[in-house]
């Protein structure tokens, strides 16, 4: 997505002022929040090393605020105080002691000892006050101002994560609506397609607005509404989206050269989020629960960190897309002159790392899909095969560290840990990647090729030289975080470190190539010149994807609510005759869930409804969730929705997909639908092995030796 041509103010379009700049600020604020804990910890440590005085027993935390002078008397006359209290009838007993017996006159010796102890404590307080006061130098006050100001900003951001996320979602959703960029099964190309999109969004947003208003009214009946501003933002967002589409009802729809089209095909152009909103909204109205739609979409606010991290990963993907890093990595492979199948296998292995570090399969397809498609084509692969490879490029790495989806699963399910999931995820990755290589080799139509090492290795080394500075920058950033901020790159810190890393790499890339001829191919024509233009363009694209993906994820939560409230899962047995039957049932359901829901929303639904069924049937939690991850990816590649296929079409272009379909229309069934069938064969085979393989090893003595091949998962 990019800003359309329109009037500009100070060199920026209205859309860029309205969306790009605010979202850029929110993304930076999110990075500050994420980095804040790391930096603040180092500021405290530095303050202790600079201003702490062990000899005086003064630590930096004592200097972060002005000390309060003790109100006790350090020069008290103990004899006089003892006599005064004896004359006043003082008792050493307190009221609680009086409940258990009679209290008598105070013992002078005990009273003196008590006063002496209190006096010693008082003198210690005064002594500490004087030492701390003496240590409050102008340097300390200046440093603590910096440290506490940073902590205040960090704390403010932490306390307002839901607000930041919601503003980001609101801007993204409205901007995406303005640009017709919501995700549908097919793009709008005919006049009736645009009409269907508009009418469906009018109904969907009307239902959403009505539900959010009713939810607020119901909450208001009990008194003051907590976080009322969040409800107002929801209402304003849906009112704006409703207004945009209502306005379009009374203006001519965009005319396409193809003509009016048919209403049957037009229904496929309806945004998926609108379909979900209409289905969920009507269901909740029918059961007399008008606020139900709003209640479930508000679950987005329950896990703000997860969805904010997703937004950061999307931004990181768009920043990566603006740099030449992917091209340079592929340049290292090109000297081997690999066959399309072997090249794709290597690309998928490399892509799995990108998928793991960008949080979800769809994000990597958006970021690198165009490059992968054209690289496979340049190696001689057919369009159908290249489309299959592009769709699968984001499907293998979701089980690898530090994928965000795995973190969310572990957060929702105490039965599993990220360490255990990543441990077995590595073996699942080996399985699915190997299956792709074997299947692609069996189905290839040309001889496998590879260049002589005597020729390929020197060429590879030459192409490695331009990549070395980028590797050095990456290593330097990781080292800075690890040794400067005492923070390692892992699944917890990746959402913060990766965007910073890619932002700095993009700056380095643009500065390094300043003044040089543009060497990017035609498919990378979206890359901008200069740092500012590149970051602005990447941010604008990010907004469109945030609006489209998070709208879809938000309404997936509502669909999950429909499934949960309708108790449709209760129609199926909770305990099956055997684990095999239970696993077969769960596999089918998981694929279906993956077909209609986004991964994060699906993980929430499965955690509350289907995971207990697996545990009740004695299926190991780690085994179950490994199966779920593979089933989800199979669902994202399966019709009728096939989200990864939709994103592939989006980045490759509708025209290229149409050419791919047209050039094979005279061939056999497999070749006509290769871009759909190849990924399905690979992931379905992988799902079968992941689902039933561990059960076979456990239940059949002849296969018990397989256990020795795999070390136990870490805790």
- In DSSP notation, 514-554 reads TTSPP---GGGTTPPSSHHHHHHHHHHHHHHHHHHHHHHHH
- How far is the C-alpha of 79 from the C-alpha of 112, rounded, in Å? 8
Q: Who's near 586: CB < 8 A, 6+ residues apart?
A: 610, 613, 614, 619, 624, 627
Q: H or E stretch including 422?
A: helix 418-443
Place of tokens 């360490």: 419
Q: H or E stretch including 9?
A: strand 8-9
Phi, psi of 643 (to 5 degrees): -55, -45
Q: How confident is the model at residue 98 (pLDDT cuts 50, 70, 90)?
A: very low
What pLDDT was estimated at residue 456? 93
What pLDDT was estimated at residue 35? 81
Q: What letter would DSSP give residue 62?
A: G
Q: What average pLDDT score do residues 588-606 get?
A: 87
Alpha helices in 566-596 (DSSP H): 579-596
Q: What letter would DSSP give residue 187?
A: -
Comparison of pLDDT for 694 and 76, the residue scoring more:
694
Phi, psi of 317 (to 5 degrees): -65, -40
Cα distances (Å, whole numbers) of residue 636 to 258, 437, 555? 30, 20, 17
For residues 370, 374, 375, 377, the Cα torsion angle rounded to the nearest 10 degrees is 150
Cα distances (Å, whole numbers) of residue 210 to 143, 213, 232, 273, 559? 51, 5, 12, 17, 17
- How far is the C-alpha of 321 from the C-alpha of 327, rounded, in Å? 10
What pLDDT was estimated at residue 202? 97
Place of tokens 């992917």: 326
Using DSSP's 3-state secondary structure scheme, residue 457 falls into helix
Q: H or E stretch including 12?
A: strand 12-13
Q: Which range among 217-226, 436-445, 617-626 has the greatest average pLDDT?
A: 617-626
Cα distances (Å, whole numbers) of residue 351 to 276, 348, 357, 361, 371? 31, 5, 10, 10, 11
Comparison of pLDDT for 598 and 547, the residue scoring more:
547
What pLDDT was estimated at residue 448? 65
Q: For 318-353, what is each residue's pLDDT tens digit?
A: 898 888 888 888 889 989 988 888 888 888 898 888
Q: What average pLDDT score do residues 483-508 get?
A: 88
Q: What average pLDDT score do residues 414-432 get?
A: 94
Q: How confident is the model at residue 447 (pLDDT cuts 50, 70, 90)?
A: low
What b/e readout covers 102-129, taking b as 16+ CB neighbours within 10 angstroms? eeeebeeeebbebbeeebeebbebbebb
Count of beta carbons in the 10 Å neighbourhood of residue 468: 10
Q: For 126-156, what is each residue's pLDDT tens digit?
A: 999 999 999 999 999 999 998 888 888 778 8
Q: What average pLDDT score do residues 476-491 get?
A: 89
Task: Find, among 93, 119, 122, the residue nearest to 105 by Cα.
Answer: 93
- Helix, strand, coil percent values for the chain (each to nearest 5): 75, 0, 25
Alpha helices in 221-337 (DSSP H): 228-249, 263-266, 272-286, 292-297, 304-322, 325-333
Mean pLDDT (the chain) is: 86
Q: What letter would DSSP give residue 299?
A: G
What pLDDT was estimated at residue 296? 93
* Half-sphere exposure (Cβ direction) of 530: Cα atoms closer than 13 Å: 4
Cis peptide before 402 (omega within 30 of 0): yes
Q: How confident is the model at residue 515 (pLDDT cuts 50, 70, 90)?
A: very low
- How far is the C-alpha of 537 from the C-alpha of 519, rounded, in Å? 19
- How far is the C-alpha of 280 from the C-alpha of 483, rounded, in Å? 50
What b/e readout covers 547-559, taking b as 16+ CB neighbours within 10 angstroms? bbbbbbbbbbbbb
Place of tokens 């008397």: 73
Q: Where are the domains of the chain?
A: 37-97+105-156, 568-709
- How far is the C-alpha of 344 from the C-alpha of 341, rounded, in Å? 5
User: CA 655, 436, 545: angle at the middle one, nearest 5?
Assistant: 45
Indicate if the pLDDT at residue 405 is higher than 90.
Answer: no
- Residue 149 burial class via C-beta count within 10 angstroms: exposed 0-12, middle 13-18, buried 19 and up: exposed
- How far is the C-alpha of 202 from the C-alpha of 198, rounded, in Å? 6
What pLDDT was estimated at residue 408? 87
Q: Who's near 93: CB < 8 A, 6+ residues apart?
A: 103
Count of beta carbons in the 10 Å neighbourhood of residue 611: 23
Using DSSP's 3-state secondary structure scheme, residue 184 falls into strand
- How far is the C-alpha of 568 from the C-alpha of 560, rounded, in Å? 11
Q: How confident is the model at residue 99 (pLDDT cuts 50, 70, 90)?
A: very low
- Within 170-227, strands assigned E span none
Q: For 659-672, what is each residue's pLDDT tens digit?
A: 999 999 999 998 89
What pLDDT was estimated at residue 92? 42
- How far is the C-alpha of 631 from the C-alpha of 635, rounded, in Å? 6
- Residue 257 burial class via C-beta count within 10 angstroms: exposed 0-12, middle 13-18, buried 19 and up: exposed
Phi, psi of 100 (to 5 degrees): -110, 5
Cis peptide before 640 (omega within 30 of 0): yes
Phi, psi of 236 (to 5 degrees): -65, -35
- How far is the C-alpha of 672 from the C-alpha of 670, rounded, in Å? 5
Q: Which range among 29-33, 212-216, 544-548, 599-603 has the greatest average pLDDT?
A: 212-216
Give percent of the chain with pLDDT exceeding 90: 39
Q: For 217-251, what is each residue's pLDDT tens digit?
A: 999 887 788 889 999 999 999 999 999 999 999 87
Length of the chain as a residue count: 715
Indicate if the pLDDT at residue 93 is higher than 80.
Answer: no
Q: What average pLDDT score do residues 349-374 get?
A: 78
Least confident of 44-48, 105-109, 233-237, 694-698: 105-109
Q: For 43-72, what is each residue's pLDDT tens digit?
A: 888 998 898 888 888 899 899 888 989 988
């Amino acid at each position: 997505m990019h800003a359309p041509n329109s009037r500009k103010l100070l060199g920026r379009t209205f859309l860029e002022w309205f969306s790009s700049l605010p979202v850029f600020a929110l993304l930076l604020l999110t990075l500050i929040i994420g980095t804040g804990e790391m930096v603040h910890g180092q500021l405290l440590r530095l303050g202790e090393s600079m201003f702490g005085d062990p000899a005086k027993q003064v630590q930096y935390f004592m200097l972060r605020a002005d000390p309060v002078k003790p109100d006790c008397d350090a020069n008290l006359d103990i004899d006089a105080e003892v006599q005064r209290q004896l004359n006043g009838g003082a008792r050493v007993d307190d009221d609680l002691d009086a409940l258990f017996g009679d209290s008598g006159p105070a013992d002078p010796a005990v009273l003196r000892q008590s006063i002496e102890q209190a006096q010693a404590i008082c003198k210690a307080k005064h002594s500490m006050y004087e030492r701390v006061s003496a240590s409050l130098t102008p340097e300390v006050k200046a440093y603590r101002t910096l440290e506490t100001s940073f902590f205040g900003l960090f704390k403010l951001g932490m306390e307002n994560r839901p607000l930041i996320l919601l503003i980001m979602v609101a801007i993204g959703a409205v901007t995406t609506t303005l640009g017709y960029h919501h995700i549908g099964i097919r793009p709008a190309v005919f006049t009736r397609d645009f009409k269907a999109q508009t009418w469906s969004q009018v109904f969907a947003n009307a239902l959403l607005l009505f539900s959010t208003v009713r939810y607020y009214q119901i909450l208001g009946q009990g008194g003051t509404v907590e976080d009322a501003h969040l409800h107002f933002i929801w209402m304003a967002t849906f009112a704006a989206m409703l207004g945009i589409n209502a306005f379009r009802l009374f203006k001519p729809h965009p005319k396409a050269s193809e003509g009016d089209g048919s209403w049957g095909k037009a229904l496929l152009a309806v945004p998926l989020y609108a379909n979900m909103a209409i289905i969920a909204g009507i269901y909740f109205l029918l059961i007399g629960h008008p606020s139900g739609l709003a209640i479930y979409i508000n679950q987005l606010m329950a896990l703000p960190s997860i969805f904010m991290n997703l937004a950061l990963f999307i931004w990181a993907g768009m920043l990566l897309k603006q740099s030449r890093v992917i091209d340079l990595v592929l340049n290292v492979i090109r000297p081997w002159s690999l066959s399309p199948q072997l090249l794709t296998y290597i690309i998928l292995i490399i892509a799995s790392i990108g998928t793991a570090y960008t949080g979800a399969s769809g994000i990597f397809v958006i970021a690198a899909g165009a490059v992968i498609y054209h690289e496979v084509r340049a190696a001689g692969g057919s369009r159908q095969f290249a489309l299959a490879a592009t769709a699968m490029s984001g499907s293998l790495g979701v089980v690898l560290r530090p994928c965000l989806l795995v973190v969310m699963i572990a957060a929702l399910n105490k039965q599993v840990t990220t360490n255990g999931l990543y441990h077995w995820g590595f073996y699942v990755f080996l399985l699915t990647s190997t299956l792709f290589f074997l299947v692609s080799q069996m189905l290839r139509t040309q001889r496998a090729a590879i260049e002589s090492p005597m020729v390929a290795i020197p060429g590879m080394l030459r192409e490695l030289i331009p990549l070395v500075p980028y590797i050095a920058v990456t290593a330097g950033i990781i080292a800075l975080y690890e040794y400067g901020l005492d923070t390692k790159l892992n699944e917890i810190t990746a959402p913060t470190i990766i965007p910073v890393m890619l932002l700095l790499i993009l700056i380095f890339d643009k500065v390094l190539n300043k003044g040089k001829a543009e060497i990017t191919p035609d498919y990378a024509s979206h890359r901008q010149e200069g740092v500012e233009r590149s970051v602005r363009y990447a941010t604008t694209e990010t907004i469109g994807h945030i609006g489209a993906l998070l709208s879809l994820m938000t309404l997936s939560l509502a669909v999950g609510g429909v499934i949960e409230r309708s108790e449709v899962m209760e129609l199926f047995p909770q305990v099956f005759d055997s684990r095999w039957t239970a696993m077969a049932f769960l596999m089918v359901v998981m694929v279906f869930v993956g077909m209609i829901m986004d991964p994060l929303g699906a993980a929430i639904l499965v955690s509350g409804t289907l995971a207990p069924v697996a545990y009740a049937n004695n299926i190991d939690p780690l085994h179950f969730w490994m199966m779920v991850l593979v089933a989800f990816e199979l669902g994202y590649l399966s019709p009728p929705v096939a989200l990864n296929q939709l994103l592939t079409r989006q980045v490759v272009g509708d025209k290229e997909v149409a050419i791919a379909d047209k050039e094979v229309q005279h061939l056999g069934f497999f070749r006509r639908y290769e871009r759909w069938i190849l990924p399905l064969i690979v992931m379905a085979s992988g799902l079968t092995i992941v689902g039933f393989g561990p059960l076979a090893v456990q239940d059949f003595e002849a296969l018990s030796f397989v256990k020795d091949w795999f070390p136990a998962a870490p805790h």
